[in-house]
Amino acid sequence: MTPGLMQPVPLQTSAILRYAATAHPRREIVSRQIDAPLWRYDYAALERRAARVANLLATLGVSPGERVSSLGWNTHRHLELFYGVSGAGVVLHTANPRLFDEQVAYTINHAESAVLFFEKNLAALVERIAPRLTTVKTFIVLSDEVPHEAGALDVLSYERLIAAESDGFDWPSFDENAGAFLCYTSGTTGDPKGVLYSHRAIVLHAMGAGLNSAFGFTAFDVVMPCPSLYHATAWGLPFVAPLCGAKLVLPGDKMDGASLHELIEGEGVTFTGGVPTIWTMYLAYLEQTGQATRTLKRVMIGGSAVPRAMAETFKRKYGVDVLQIWGMTETCPLGVIASPTPALAERGEEAMQEVIWTRQGRLQFGVELRTVDDDGADTPRDGETPGALKVRGPWTVQRYYRQPADAVDAEGWFDTGDIATLDADGFMRITDRAKDVIKSGGEWISSIDLENVAVGCPGVKIAAVIGVPHPKWEERPLLVIEPHQGEVVSAAAVLDYLAPRIAKWWMPEEVVFAEVPLTATGKIDKKALRQVVTQASGKTPG
């Protein structure tokens, strides 16, 4: 090959910070603090405080390539760690405080972090896990004070430490493939697995997500990330917003409807995003208080499928567009996101919304998708035929942290563990987790599709489907119903409701009633559910 002759300038998170500080120096960042008024500053000031963090790491003896951990909410100080730590060439492990104690400790030890930054209202957690932490030498509370609760530990104050550092730092240039962020998946089986995002992946993801096919921010947008900063870097929003010059509103750890509404209206939020649970609470708050939103234009929802009723309420009642997004920690996380196209628009508004609301999203540049059958052959892109979903691209994982082998196949594809369809319009729809799909008589029954129908039955709060062994059909679906509090639901009523709505061979073999166990992230915990059902009925789920 003839090498090109363009500048070898690496893609680094510090380039995003320096760009925002130079091109949008006065654009505001607003952050909800714990027990304190809203914090306000701008991108120029963010760079200065991130510089103090970078200098602090040197003072603490942390070298480029080493890891430090955070237990932080969506706050400005956590954002400063995002840029200050990664900009200095150090890896930020964003630990997840919602995991079980032993898993939190496991991830920090696995990262071999020498420093742990934490929010002051997580001091009790830190004190509990401290005896198990094998590598942490320095504990720093993200506050100007040292909390009483951590009295047994030697805890330093973030504000006091960075006040002693210079606010100038010459952001170093280094290999863009260097690690920047370490995020662990919160899988329900086995130890959490670490995904080590490179600077290159973070920057390319931010550029790709900034396009109009995805988030499409302008400098006039006001962006409030509700996905946690420790969940795949809040879906990249802390990078995409400054890259586009958008104002950033950080909601801290207050995700209740009233707190979010206060920020949305008070700060003029135009774009926000998060898991469905948060938006259920937000819509309930608007409904109960009879309020509306004047400024909000788009809500990006992911983490689990968006309930149709939620999307319709946002659109029809409040004029807010819902963007479905699908991704994983392993994809940084942007995989697909729903956005309109002329081909869809030609079919009319109703038909277009139908597609957008019932699919996880559309293909994005930088994310190749394929679906394959049990033999590894591509399934047709007909919107009908499900296959195992594989993904490839510059912001998709190659290998889990400290694992000896790659997580991709010979052609470089990562198996998502999801079952999905692709269609001619470039939309992808998740039909199941691979381990949850029910293989009945050689055909696949989507547990998710069945649940989505069943949850519409009056009185049903949660519907969960698992496969149970069957002598003739190999597996058959078993439907577990958790009714709304105070509601009475019968198996016959559920079956009557399903009958006209699903294929006959999808009808559940049995309907049982139980409290449905959820994971730490609010998804149905099918592994735990299978145990519940086994213990209760003596059945052996597949």
In angstroms, rounded to a whole number, what is the distance separating the alpha carbons of residues 515 and 148?
38
CB closer to its own copies out of 306 and 367: 367
CA–CA distance from 36 to each of 40, 143, 252, 385 (Å)? Answer: 12, 11, 11, 53
Catalytic, out of 47, 176, 267, 330:
330
Catalytic, out of 254, 297, 315, 439:
439
Q: Positive or negative CA dihedral for 190, 196, 201, 206?
A: positive
CB closer to its own copies out of 16 and 305: 16
Least distance to its own copies from the beta carbon of 89, Å? 6
Containing 356, the helix (H) or strand (E) segment is helix 349-358
In angstroms, rounded to a whole number, what is the distance separating the alpha carbons of residues 351 and 340?
11
In angstroms, rounded to a whole number, what is the distance separating the alpha carbons of residues 127 and 162?
23
Q: What does the DSSP assignment read for 508-537? A: -SEEEE-PPPB-TTSSB-HHHHHHHHHHHH
Least distance to its own copies from the beta carbon of 366, Å? 8
CB closer to its own copies out of 196 and 516: 196
Residue whose structure tokens are 């696995």: 110
Least distance to its own copies from the beta carbon of 421, Å? 15
CB closer to its own copies out of 9 and 377: 9
In angstroms, rounded to a whole number, what is the distance separating the alpha carbons of residues 470 and 477?
10
Q: Which residues of 433-459 are buried (b: 16+ CB within 10 A; e: fewer)?
A: beebbbebeeebbbbbbbbbbbbebee
Residue 41 bridge partners (DSSP): 29
Please confirm, yes or no, whether 330 is among the known catalytic residues. Answer: yes
Least distance to its own copies from the beta carbon of 324, Å? 16
> Which residue type is seen at 324?
Q
Question: Is residue 502 within 8 Å of residue 450, measured between CB atoms?
Answer: yes
Please confirm, yes or no, whether 444 is among the known catalytic residues. Answer: yes
CB closer to its own copies out of 182 and 460: 182
Least distance to its own copies from the beta carbon of 192, Å? 15
Question: Is residue 444 within 8 Å of residue 437, measured between CB atoms?
Answer: yes
Catalytic, out of 94, 185, 272, 421:
185
In angstroms, rounded to a whole number, what is the distance separating the alpha carbons of residues 409 and 464?
32
Least distance to its own copies from the beta carbon of 143, Å? 29
CB closer to its own copies out of 392 and 439: 392
Please confirm, yes or no, whether 534 is among the known catalytic residues. Answer: no
Active site residue ranges: 185, 330, 439, 444
